[in-house]
Amino acid sequence: MAWCPGGKKLDQDIFDALAELVTHVMHRAEEISQQYGVPVFCAKAMHRFDTSIAMKELGKRMRCDPSFVTMIADSLEQRGLARREPNAADRRIKNLVLTPEGLEMKDKLERALLSQMPWCEALDLQERETLLALIRKMINVGPSTPTPRTEADYERAEADYESTASPRS
38-48 confidence digits (pLDDT tens): 999 999 999 99
pLDDT in tens, 60-77: 999 998 889 999 999 999
Taken in order 23, 14, 44, 106, is the CA torsion positive or negative?
positive
Q: For position 1, what pLDDT does the model report?
A: 47
pLDDT in tens, 128-146: 999 999 999 998 987 765 5
Question: Mean pLDDT, to the nearest integer, of 93-114?
Answer: 95
Strands 52-54 and 82-86 come out as unpaired
CATH node for 5-139 = 1.10.10.10
Phi and psi, residue 147, nearest 5°: -80, 130
Strands 94-98 and 52-54 come out as antiparallel
Higher pLDDT, 122 or 91: 122
